[in-house]
Amino acid sequence: MCGIAGFVDRAADPGQRNRDVAVVHQMCAAIRHRGPDDEGSHVEPGVALGMRRLSIIDLVSGSQPIRNEDGSVWLVFNGEVYNYPQLRTDLEARGHRFYTESDTETIVHAYEEWGDQAIARLRGMFGLALWDRNNRRLILARDRSGIKPLHYALVGDRLYFGSEIKAILAAGVPRELDAGALDHYLSFLYTPSDRSIFRDVQKLPPGHLLEWRDGRVRVSKYWELPGRETFPGTDAEAAEALGTVLRDAVRCHMLSDVPLGAFLSGGIDSSLVVGLMAEVSSQPVQTFSIGFDEPAYDELEHARVVARHFGTDHHEYVVKPDGLAILDDLVSHFDEPFGDSSAIPTWYVSQIASRHVTVVLSGDGGDELFGGYDRYVPHPRVALFDRVPVPGRYRAAAAAWPRLPHGTRGKNFLRHVSRNVEGRYVDAIALFQPDEKAALLNADVRRTLGRSDPDATLLARFARLGDLPWASRMMHVDFETYLPDDVLTKVDRMSMAHSIEARVPLLDNEVVELAASLPAHMKIRGLVRKHALKAVARTLLPPAILERPKQGFGVPLGVWFRGHLRELFGDVLRSASTRQRAYFDRSFVDRMVDEHLAGRRDHTMRLWQLVMFELWHRQYLDRPAQPAATRTPRTTVEVGTSQAG
C-alpha cells in the first residue's frame, strides 16, 4: 500500500527541475503515514510522479515509480491487483519483459498492450497515475468501488493529484471553502463524490478515469454497478455460487509478504470473512475488535464468540469517553469535515491491529450489496400510515408539516410520510433537512449556495434505476455514494493513519458482479435482510451470530455528551472563534445545544457534525497555508522497481 502524489504541467521547462523535485517531495512528505518505508519519484520537464511506500509485496525490489522497457511509460500506484499473476502470464506470452515480481509492473505493460481498456481488466483496489511520455498524457484511475481514494486539482495549466487532499494542499493549492460541499456535508455527513470541501480540489469518483492532455481534462466512467438482476438459478444455486466467489476473493486478498489479520465486529460480514480466512490459513487468524463501556453499544462478546469458534489469536480494546482525545488527529487525517462518529472506533481498532500486522481484511460492503440496512425494509409506523384508508392523507401531511414549529413532536414523521419513496429514502438518511439548513445557515452562506440542492442531486441517481425493485435501487445508490464517500473513506484514512493496509474482499470484482445479478428477493425476504449472504454464513458461523439483530458500528456519543463530555458541544460551538465565522445562525445553534444538554431533544449527531466542522476549520483554514518546499529531498529515485502500493 502506498500514497501517491504529483503533477503535470503544459510548460515543460527543464530549468524548473530542482523546484519540481522539491514540490513533489513536499507532497509526498504530507502523506508519509501512508507509506513510511520508502519514498520514490520520477521527474522530467513538466511532470512529477511521487509515492510513499508501505512494503507489502516484493519487499526486496519494491520501490516505485515503475516504468516500461524503454522508459516511455511511468506509473505510481496505491492498491493491490489480485489477478496480476494471470495478467502477467498473458502479457509475457505477448512479448512483454518484466524486471520486478510486483503487481504494479503488470499495470504498465497492460497499458502498453490494451491502452485505457487495461484499467477495466484490473481485479483489485487502486488509485493510480500513469504518465505516457510519447503521447504527453497523464491517466488517473480509481477502482470500481472506491476502496482507494484519489483527488486532483487543476490550477491554471497544472494538474495536481494525490491520494489525500493534504498532498495537494502541500503544493500550495488555495484553501478556499466550497459552500456547496458544506451544504452536502450538513445533509449527509460527508462531502460529494466528485467534489471536496476545498473549491479547487475534486475527487475522482469510483469507476472513473481521468485523462490530462495539453492542459485539458476529461473524466469518463469505465465501469458501473450492473443494473440488471439476471441470475437464473434457485436460492440454493445462488448460495453455492456466492460461497465459491467469496472463498476465492478471501484467498486472493490474503496474498501478502507481511503479517495479516482481520477486523472483527461480531456481525455477519466480518465474521464470515474471518471464517473464510480460517479455512485457508495454516495459522490462527489474528483478529481485532473494539468495544465500549456502555453495554448497549458493546459488541465484544459477539466478537469473542466468533474468535473462539474459529480459534483466532484475538485482540480487543475498550474505548472510553477520554478516547475523544484523538479528535484533532481524526480531523487531520480526513482533510475534510467528516461527520461519521464510527471513525473513533475505527481509529482504535486500526491502532491495535498495527501493533501486530501490516494488512487487515474487513467486512465492509456487505450491507450495500446484500441488503443489510434498516432502511431497506419498511418502518412499521410508516407501513401502518400507508395502510390507513384515509383519502388525502398524503396531501394533508404535506400541508401540515411545514407549518409546525421546529422541534414539534410529529413534524419529522409527517414530513417523511408526505414524500414519495425516493424522497423518503433521502429524508431517512439526511441529518439536517432543507428547512433546518435554511434556519441554520446565515444569509450570506445561503446566497452563496444559490441553487445548491444535495437532495436533488442524490434523487437524480434513481432516474436510471427505474426498472429495478425499490430495495435494489436503494442498494445501488448506497453503493455509489454512502459506501465510497463514508464507509470506505473512514476505513482508508483510519487504517492508513496507522500505516496498515485494509482490504475488502466483499468488494472483490467477482463478488460485486454476482451480488448485483441476484434478484432483490434473494437479498431481502420479508423482514429478513442479507438472505443470500446468510445462506453462505450458515455453513460457517455459530447460530448465535446468525440470529442476532444488526447492531452497526455505533458510538455512545449521546451518553458521553450528557456525562463526562457534556461541555464539549458548548465549549466548541459557543467559542469566540466559532461565533466570529458566522457560517451558522447563533440562536439556532444555541437552541440545539440547550435542548440537547437539557435532555429535551437528542441532537447528538447534528451537534457532532458542527463540532467536527469547527475543528476542521481551525486546522485547515485558520492556520496559514504552508508554502511548497524549496529544499532538495534526501533521495530522488528516477528509475526503480515497484510493488503494490
Q: What is the mean pLDDT of residues 208-232?
A: 95
Position 640 scores a pLDDT of 27
**Contact predicate 500/350, CB 8 Å:** yes
Model pLDDT for residues 308-344, shown as the tens digit of each residue: 999 999 999 988 777 678 899 999 999 999 999 999 9
The residue type found at 188 is: F
| Chain centroid, CA 104 distance in Å | 22
Q: What is the mean pLDDT of residues 238-254?
A: 97
- Of 417, 123, 350, residue with least CA distance to 251: 123
Structure-block grid coordinates of residue 574: 459557543
For the ranges 278-287, 290-299, 358-367, the lowest mean pLDDT is seen at 290-299
Number of Cβ within 10 Å of residue 296's Cβ equals 9
Would you say residue 452 has pLDDT above 70?
A: yes
Would you say residue 546 has pLDDT above 60?
A: yes
Q: What is the mean pLDDT of residues 432-457?
A: 91
Q: What is the mean pLDDT of residues 524-542?
A: 94
**Contact predicate 366/268, CB 8 Å:** yes
pLDDT, greater one: 60 or 232:
232
Would you say residue 277 has pLDDT above 80?
A: yes
Q: What is the mean pLDDT of residues 527-546?
A: 93
Confidence band of 307 (pLDDT split at 50, 70, 90) = very high
Position 632 scores a pLDDT of 30
What order of strands is seen across the sheet that includes strand 66-67?
66-67, 73-81, 124-132, 137-142, 208-213, 216-221
Confidence band of 568 (pLDDT split at 50, 70, 90) = confident
**Contact predicate 372/530, CB 8 Å:** yes
The residue type found at 68 is: N
Position 567 scores a pLDDT of 75
pLDDT, greater one: 299 or 612:
612
Confidence band of 633 (pLDDT split at 50, 70, 90) = very low
Q: What is the mean pLDDT of residues 292-319?
A: 89
229 exposed, middle or buried (CB, 10 Å; 0-12, 13-18, 19+)? Answer: middle
Element holding 151 (H helix, E strand) = strand 151-155
pLDDT, greater one: 222 or 623:
222
Model pLDDT for residues 503-517, shown as the tens digit of each residue: 999 999 999 999 999
Confidence band of 639 (pLDDT split at 50, 70, 90) = very low
Structure-block grid coordinates of residue 307: 474468535
In angstroms, rounded to a whole number, what is the distance separating the alpha carbons of residues 190 and 183? 10
Report yes or no on whether pTM surpasses 0.85: yes
Residue 408, C-beta contacts closer than 8 angstroms, at least 6 positions apart? none
Q: What is the mean pLDDT of residues 44-62?
A: 75
pLDDT, greater one: 639 or 126:
126
Model pLDDT for residues 137-193, shown as the tens digit of each residue: 999 999 999 999 999 999 999 999 999 999 999 999 999 999 999 999 999 999 999
Q: What is the mean pLDDT of residues 465-473?
A: 92
Position 58 scores a pLDDT of 52
In angstroms, rounded to a whole number, what is the distance separating the alpha carbons of residues 246 and 515? 11
Would you say residue 254 has pLDDT above 50?
A: yes
**Contact predicate 379/283, CB 8 Å:** no
Position 570 scores a pLDDT of 80
In angstroms, rounded to a whole number, what is the distance separating the alpha carbons of residues 623 and 618? 7
Q: What is the mean pLDDT of residues 377-406?
A: 92
Position 552 scores a pLDDT of 58
Would you say residue 636 has pLDDT above 70?
A: no
**How much is the mean pLDDT over the chain?**
90
- Of 457, 492, 506, 452, residue with least CA distance to 477: 457
Structure-block grid coordinates of residue 20: 519540481
In angstroms, rounded to a whole number, what is the distance separating the alpha carbons of residues 395 and 59? 65
DSSP codes of every residue in 481-513: THIIIIIIHHHHHHHHHTT-EEE-GGG-HHHHH
pLDDT, greater one: 588 or 627:
588
Position 550 scores a pLDDT of 64
Q: What is the mean pLDDT of residues 464-468?
A: 88
In angstroms, rounded to a whole number, what is the distance separating the alpha carbons of residues 641 and 386? 63
Would you say residue 97 has pLDDT above 80?
A: yes
Confidence band of 55 (pLDDT split at 50, 70, 90) = low
Structural domains of the chain in order of their starting residue, each with its CATH number: 2-221 (3.60.20.10), 235-373+476-547 (3.40.50.620), 374-469 (no CATH), 557-622 (no CATH)
Confidence band of 298 (pLDDT split at 50, 70, 90) = confident
Position 459 scores a pLDDT of 94
- Percentage of the chain exceeding pLDDT 70: 93
Q: What is the mean pLDDT of residues 443-456?
A: 89
DSSP letter (8 states) at residue 402: G
Active site residue 28: no
Which one of the listed residues 1, 2, 23, 555 is annotated catalytic?
Answer: 2
Position 296 scores a pLDDT of 75
